[in-house]
């Protein structure tokens, strides 16, 4: 299971599971990178 995502801006996002990781990553994107959106598959592809 993937739980760690490093955003291209250097921010590390960690969730307790994939669902939370996707949620937190999307929240980070909308807060810090408006207009940049990734769907679940793209996030999990980049996650560790
Ligand atoms: Zn970022």
How do residues 6-43 score in pLDDT, each as one tens digit?
999 999 999 999 999 999 999 999 999 999 999 999 99
- List of residues 6+ apart from 11 with CB closer than 8 A: 28, 32
Measured in angstroms, how far is the CA atom of residue 45 from the centroid of ligand 1? 16
Spatial distance between the Cα atoms of 16 and 21, rounded to a whole number of angstroms:
7
CA 24 to chain centre: 6
Measured in angstroms, how far is the CA atom of residue 13 from the centroid of ligand 1? 9
Structural domain count of the chain: 1
Spatial distance between the Cα atoms of 22 and 12, rounded to a whole number of angstroms:
13
Measured in angstroms, how far is the CA atom of residue 46 from the centroid of ligand 1? 13
Measured in angstroms, how far is the CA atom of residue 42 from the centroid of ligand 1? 15
Q: Which domain holds residue 27?
A: 4-46
Q: Which run of H or of E encompasses 22?
A: helix 18-32
pLDDT at position 41 is 97
Measured in angstroms, how far is the CA atom of residue 36 from the centroid of ligand 1? 10
Q: Are 41 and 33 in contact (CB under 8 A)?
A: no
pLDDT at position 35 is 94
């Amino acid at each position: 299971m993937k739980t760690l995502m490093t955003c291209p801006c250097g921010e590390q996002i960690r969730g307790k599971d994939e669902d939370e990781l996707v949620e937190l990553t999307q929240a980070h994107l909308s807060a810090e990178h408006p207009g940049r959106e990734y769907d679940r598959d793209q996030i999990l592809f980049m996650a560790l």
